Amino acid sequence: MIIGIIPHARKESAVSLAKDLVNYLEERKVSIWLDKGTARLLGFPKYGHDMAELTKVDALVILGGDGTLLSSARLVSDLNVPLLGVNLGHLGFLTEIESKNLYPAMEQILANNYTLEKRMFIDCDVIRDQKSIARYRALNDVVVTRGTFARIIQLSSYIDSQHVADYKADWIIVSTPTGSTAYSLSAGGPLIDPLLESIGLTPICPHTLSARPVLARASSVVKLEIEAAHQDVMLTVDGQLGFRLRSGDAIEVRKSPVYVHFIKLKGHNFFEILHSRMKMPQV
């Protein structure tokens, strides 16, 4: 078995835990994958490998928070590598376990005592003058947002070429089921079981009483046409990547052909994680 490790390189607790995990795996004579930069950072240069060798990894352990897991998932989206998220952040909706449970979890993984859960990505194209000028992949969401000035965004939304609504709003979120517990939830969007494949649209502070979240089939193409009279509009991807938009641009979002595979351990399910992270009352 080959275990890969990606820690949050700027978080001291993640770096320290990664070093301990390397020692743990060494004692058990388990092969280890680190990218070359991380291997030097941790003081184990002999375990530094090229990204191409990630295809050989049986499990990739992500040490950080949701942000680290999101960026890692996009990084390996074409490689079909199972991910185990270990929470060293705050909420950690996407992570499977807390750091204190890492080693019991590793024992289960080394014994092949786990299952895999497929989560869908969405792919997003920025269309300008009828050409795709940028393409992104997101696990949580893509958001059309205003910039620093308090100007509302005007846009039209379509699902499979059918007009849905015209919005005057601060922002609008297009999310996956995984992203339903992220920004969309804070904006009043629905909680969606992550295995129920769909694409959600959630406006933020719409200037109309009739604007409501919309849920589209995963096979649909969601299109947003920007009609802002100003140039201070951005597209953000998983809250980590950004692209400046112009009036007249269109955003096309569709289900990606690839999936992320999360390692799931016995006794950890979606609603249990919600209860623990959000302190939701159980009835």
Task: Over range 29-45, report the average pLDDT.
Answer: 97
Q: What pLDDT does 16 receive?
A: 97
**231, pLDDT greater than 70:** no
**283, pLDDT greater than 60:** no
CA 118 from centroid of its chain's CA atoms:
13
Cα separation, 120 vs 174, in Å, equals 13
Task: Over range 254-259, report the average pLDDT.
Answer: 98
Q: Give pLDDT tens digits for 169-191.
A: 778 999 999 999 888 888 788 88
| Domains 2-114+265-278 and 121-257 belong to one CATH topology | no
- Position 276 confidence tier, pLDDT thresholds 50, 70, 90: low
Phi-psi category of 16—alpha, beta or left, where left has phi over 0 and alpha has psi -120 to 50? Answer: alpha
List the one residue out of 85, 44, 77, 37 whose CA is nearest residue 61: 85
For domain 2-114+265-278, the question of CATH label 3.30.470.10 is answered with: no
In the residue annotation, 125 being an active-site residue is answered as no
Q: Give pLDDT tens digits for 60-103.
A: 999 999 999 999 999 999 999 999 999 997 777 789 999 999 99
- 210 vs 59, residue with greater confidence: 59
Kindly report the pTM of this predicted structure: 0.89
Tokens at 55, concatenated: 């295809």
For domain 121-257, the question of CATH label 1.10.10.60 is answered with: no
Residue whose tokens read 């291997």:
39
Q: Where are the alpha helices (DSSP H) in the chain?
A: 12-27, 36-42, 66-75, 102-110, 183-186, 270-278
**230, pLDDT greater than 80:** no
- Position 280 confidence tier, pLDDT thresholds 50, 70, 90: very low
Q: What is the average pLDDT score of the chain?
A: 90
Give φ, ψ of 213 to 5 degrees: -60, 145
Q: What pLDDT does 177 receive?
A: 95
**133, pLDDT greater than 60:** yes
The single residue of 35, 66, 141, 238 carrying the catalytic annotation is 66
**273, pLDDT greater than 70:** no
Task: Over range 120-140, report the average pLDDT.
Answer: 97
- 227 vs 240, residue with greater confidence: 240
